[in-house]
Amino acid sequence: MTDNANQKTYLNAAVAAAVIFFLLAAVLGILYFKANKKGSTLETKNAEVEQLKAELEKDYYQALSDLEEMRGSNEELNALIEKQKEELTSQKTQIDKLLRDSRNLGSARAQIKDLNAKAQQYLAEINQLRQENEQLTATNSQLTEVNTQLESSLTQTKEQADSLNAVKSRLETQKAQLEQTTERLSEKVNIASVVKVDALEVTGLKVRNNGSTTRKRAAKNVDQLEICFNTTENDVAPVGNELFFVRIVNPDGVTLAIETLGSGEFKNNATGEAALYTRTAEVPYEKDVQQVCTVWAPGQAFMEGAYQVEVYNKGYLAGSSSFELR
């Protein structure tokens, strides 16, 4: 081979080596740049992770501190605070897991933001509940005061009512006593004003065909009974008409009474019971002695035996007598 050919070959080899060298240097430069860039990015992500961790710790413990300050004497609110703290702790644990992988930084940021929002929401809820509880406590205190006042007023009203009832009871007792006294006095006056009768006689009469009468003692011959008596003087009795009830009791103890002939019932004030009467006789009384007569004509036969006749005035027995029909 000639010298020129050798030189040319050497020159081509040198050029090829230079090209290869430059290409290798370029590749090495690119690889070095990428390595530096990757290291820088990794350092940046690590720094961001540490920053997020610090931010998470700060926000988490601040939220716990704020919730703890809300704690008070209300057991229900305290229980709710504990529940909210547990929920925040659970969420922090999830965020801590996300921060272990730099690829989850976006999710971690969102979760930290959500934790802060949830903490603020919890604080707002607790604060509202505490205000409502304070308002309820104040209202309850007012109601308690009103209830105390009402109980005091009710006690006073009851005492007044008891006092009035006691007065009413005394007045009713006094009224009843007064009525009893008045009734006794009225009864005494009524008894004192009874017009007594005497010379009480009963005569059996037989009615003749011409209408005249004749006295008879045999029961089979008697058509009617004539009852006569005299009034007595009584200064207590007022002047005016006096009504007398006449009872004729047959031998069997039965009061002779026929309603269509003027018989009826009156109150026997001595016994308080109702009693039958046979006839009535009303006369103008002027506090003097006068004879009163009435006739009982039942239109039926009389039975034999002893009869009792009684005369009542103002409901009290004014006189009595007996007679017999053979």
Q: What was the pLDDT predicted at 125?
A: 84
Burial label, 325 (beta-carbon count in 10 A; 0-12, 13-18, 19+): buried
| pLDDT > 50? residue 185 | no
For residues 239 and 167, state if they share a domain: no
Average pLDDT, the chain: 82
CATH of the domain at 305: 2.60.40
Of 142, 163, 192, the position where a domain reaches its end is 192
For residues 217 and 267, state if they share a domain: yes
For residues 262 and 305, state if they share a domain: yes
| pLDDT > 60? residue 167 | yes
Residue 211 CA to residue 320 CA, distance in Å, equals: 30
Structure-model confidence comparison of residues 144 and 285, the more confident one = 285
| pLDDT > 50? residue 182 | no
> 67 pLDDT band (50/70/90 cuts)?
confident
DSSP helix/strand/coil, 159: helix
CB 98 within 8 A of CB 143: no
| pLDDT > 80? residue 316 | yes
| pLDDT > 80? residue 299 | yes
Averaged over 175-201, what is the pLDDT?
71
DSSP helix/strand/coil, 206: strand
| pLDDT > 90? residue 20 | no
For residues 180 and 77, state if they share a domain: yes
For residues 5 and 117, state if they share a domain: yes
Structure-model confidence comparison of residues 255 and 182, the more confident one = 255
Percent of the chain with pLDDT over 70: 82
* 200-257 residue pLDDT tens: 999 999 999 888 889 999 999 999 999 999 999 998 898 999 999 999 999 999 999 9
Domain that holds residue 281: 197-325
* 44-58 residue pLDDT tens: 667 777 888 787 788
| pLDDT > 90? residue 283 | yes
Residue 64 CA to residue 126 CA, distance in Å, equals: 13
- Cβ-Cβ contacts under 8 Å for 55 (sequence gap 6 or more): 112
For residues 218 and 186, state if they share a domain: no
Number of domains the chain is built from:
2
Residue 262 CA to residue 38 CA, distance in Å, equals: 143
For residues 159 and 206, state if they share a domain: no
Of 157, 192, 227, the position where a domain reaches its end is 192
| pLDDT > 90? residue 73 | no
For residues 188 and 201, state if they share a domain: no
For residues 207 and 185, state if they share a domain: no
Averaged over 159-176, what is the pLDDT?
76
CB 109 within 8 A of CB 52: yes
For residues 231 and 178, state if they share a domain: no
Q: What was the pLDDT predicted at 188?
A: 54
For residues 75 and 94, state if they share a domain: yes
Residue 71 CA to residue 61 CA, distance in Å, equals: 16
Of 167, 192, 217, the position where a domain reaches its end is 192
> 318 pLDDT band (50/70/90 cuts)?
very high
Q: What was the pLDDT predicted at 181?
A: 47
* 90-141 residue pLDDT tens: 887 888 887 787 677 778 778 778 878 877 887 888 888 888 878 888 888 8
For residues 128 and 58, state if they share a domain: yes
Q: What was the pLDDT predicted at 170?
A: 80
| pLDDT > 90? residue 295 | yes
